[in-house]
Structure 1
Amino acid sequence: MYLYEWLAFDGREKVDYQKLVEETEKQKTKGGKIPPITVQHSVSNTVSDNESLYEYNQTYIDVRTPNDEKRGALTLAAGSAGILLISMLAVIAMNLLETIIETHASSFPWSAYIFSFVALPVSGASLYLYFKYAFPHLRLEAFTARRLIVRFNRITRKVYLLRPKHLGGVVALDWDKADACLDPTMSEAEGIGGFVLLGWEKESHGVFDAEGQPKDDFEITFVGKPTRNASELLAFWEYIRRYMEYGPDAAPRPQRLISKFPWPWNSFKAAWRLDTGFFGKSAGWFFILINLLLLPTILIHGFFHWVSLLLCYEPRFPESIEQAGQRP
């Protein structure tokens, strides 16, 4: 579910950017906010791919976004509501059509007139409201791109965002002008469920469209699987940073890349989300018990997680980005 990206893109069109910059500067001068980390700053002595890479080669790495597991609930709720409304409208229309065919106009029952003038408009209006207000939310996880991809190309020194148009579209961003919103001094607990947030200020002139034309805009993107602690989060950013700054030798190839094929067991695994780190610990039995009690919910979530993937298309970067930095 692309909730973060949708909120960021939707809110960007309404935000007063100059006011946001002024407030940020005030917070910095008061010491109330950690200054962004640039790509030159090392934040960890170790590196970790965080099991977040789709692709790894000598030119680029493709990285996932945080919310891959958080999908399925909208497909169940909004999808079921849409099917129910469409089915209801179809049944009403078919019953009315059968009544018209089976009776003469002179003997057409008044109840059918009332039914046609009330039920059909109400159903049609409900379906209209559904597609206007509910369907756009359904597109956060169905009938859209199956995944969002952040590509770090070390040859072109660009960060490419592969997103549907309703989430901001495809853009190219200058790696050297990126700020990472991380606090190297955070506690381990503050890194639970964390992910890398990268930002490009409007004044940096580091934002370009898919054709390479500059955009007078700012950008943010969320990168990586949610981490279990601060050390894991900082090591993951360090992995990306060293790959871009020093090359593949500084950021070894992951033992396993994420498969893009929508295997059903991956959806159930995403819904299960049992941290195996609890095995062998005294409290491990408690977490296993909770997951077993929630098993029916987990199975339903996993099924609709898989359905949402099947209802999506596999996105691809434009050919110009696919070939960027490749040797002839």
Structure 2
Amino acid sequence: MYFAEWLAWLAYIDPKEERDAFEKNHKKTNISIYESDEQDMLDAAKRSASSNPLSRGPVYVYNKHILEMRCGMMEDKRGLITILSTAVILYSLVNIAMALEDLTILIGLLFTYNGEPYAGTLLTGSVFLTLGVGTLWLYLKFGLRFTRFEMFTSRHLLIRFNRTTQQVYLHRPPYCGGIVTLPWYGVTSSGSDKKYAAAGGFGLPLDLIWPPSFAGALHPELIHVGKAANNFTELQSEWEFIRRFMDEGPEGLPRPSLTSHFPWPWQAFTPQFEGLTHYFRKSSRITKLGLVLISPAFLIIGTGHWLSLMLCWKPRWPRIIREAGLPGKPVPPLTTLDDYPPAIQARLRENAYLWATRPGKRPQRKKRTSTRKPKTEIATACLQNDISGETHRADGSSG
């Protein structure tokens, strides 16, 4: 669930030595952003994107001052890591339990030994103990970090819009960048214009991006908000709902249905079908039959999703963010580079050049010119004589 955010954070804090080694073995691709591009995106985010503002959720808090939604990428894929992690943990515990059972027998023989053979019990107990403890040690050392993408962590990534303070708050685990406070006026969106969205807007949630000049920590902030979309129109409606709430207020907006943080079963099974309504409607009968045949896989993943929700806890905001906008309460300071540990600050500074905006306007693309050499006047005259001669011969034969 948090895999995409984790990868993005690793890209921001990747050590220079590892990045240089990767670029040496792989083709380097630079995506340059110019000041004009950034300004166009900011201007587009201030304009109305749709006449039908609508939030498809999930929305957890909605009032005159606060709009809180789910964010994060690949929420619909949640469950597979939980199933694998649970299998490994159960395998380790079963082996340890069997080793303890053999150990109990050996301890009993120690006090009441009457010549019974115990070599087999000692051997099997040693094998089970080695398998159980060894597997558990390997899991804790190498696997737990991936398990925490879905288990033993915050139940959801959250984004909170506060129109009183005109700030946006991101709730993420520390290994994904932590809790961040951002200014609303620096946001750009994939729903503001079709050229900023993925082709068709199919199967992806709404993107909100803060350029490095507004994010405050020398790197951009990219957040995926809400459910995956079936088309670009849904992205526009979602973005327009958020924009109007922050810029104009909740008056005139359709009130969204609120979602509970309690892990109800349907919250685990419905996300698997986010962004696929259009695909199901347009698919052939053979595709629909294939989906029916693999429906048990959806059931298994959904069960893992539900298990992961139950093994996580409700995210809780810091007090200063919970009270932000209330009379007499302080306004949370915007996140800056100084809010991170010194080692992280050093890496963010090293990699700042990767996200830096180029000054000026994007240069216009040069028109493609033909590489064929232009014909000389002699060659052109010869070609015209050949054409005229063929025309005369054709006229004579027809007569």
Corresponding position of 1:192 = 202
Corresponding position of 1:88 = 95
Q: How does 1:145-156 map to 2 (within 5 A)?
A: 145-156=154-165
Unmatched tracts of structure 1, length 5 or more: 208-214
Contact 1:44 1:234 survives alignment (8 Å): yes
Q: How does 1:45-194 map to 2 (within 5 A)?
A: 45-46=50-51, 47-65=53-71, 66-103=73-110, 104=113, 109-110=118-119, 120-181=129-190, 184-186=193-195, 189-194=199-204
Q: How does 1:1-328 map to 2 (within 5 A)?
A: 1-14=1-14, 23-25=30-32, 28=34, 37-38=41-42, 40-42=45-47, 44-46=49-51, 47-65=53-71, 66-103=73-110, 104=113, 109-110=118-119, 120-181=129-190, 184-186=193-195, 189-204=199-214, 206-207=215-216, 218-249=220-251, 251-254=253-256, 256-271=257-272, 288-327=288-327
Aligned in 2, Cα 1:216/1:271: closer, same or farther, shift over 3 Å? closer
Contact 1:43 1:235 survives alignment (8 Å): no
* d(CA) in 2 for partners of 1:313, 1:283: 38
Given the two structures, how large is their TM-score scaled by the length of structure 1? 0.80
Q: What is the number of equivalent residue pairs in this alignment?
A: 313
Deviates more, 1:237-246 or 1:266-275: 266-275
Contact 1:100 1:108 survives alignment (8 Å): no
**Secondary structure, in 3 states, of the residue corresponding to 1:150?**
strand
* d(CA) in 2 for partners of 1:289, 1:258: 32
Contact 2:102 2:122 survives alignment (8 Å): no
Contact 1:37 1:182 survives alignment (8 Å): no
Deviates more, 1:112-121 or 1:147-156: 112-121
State the 1:227 CA deviation. Answer: 0.5
Larger Rg: 2
Contact 2:230 2:278 survives alignment (8 Å): no
State the 1:38 CA deviation. Answer: 1.7
* d(CA) in 2 for partners of 1:195, 1:247: 23
AA at the equivalent of 2:86 = G
RMSD: 3.5
Q: Which runs of 4+ in 1 moved over 6 A?
A: 33-36, 105-108
AA at the equivalent of 1:296 = P
AA at the equivalent of 1:302 = G
Deviates more, 1:112-121 or 1:137-146: 112-121
AA at the equivalent of 2:136 = L
State the 1:129 CA deviation. Answer: 0.9
* d(CA) in 2 for partners of 1:36, 1:131: 47
* d(CA) in 1 for partners of 2:325, 2:190: 27
* d(CA) in 1 for partners of 2:166, 2:274: 35
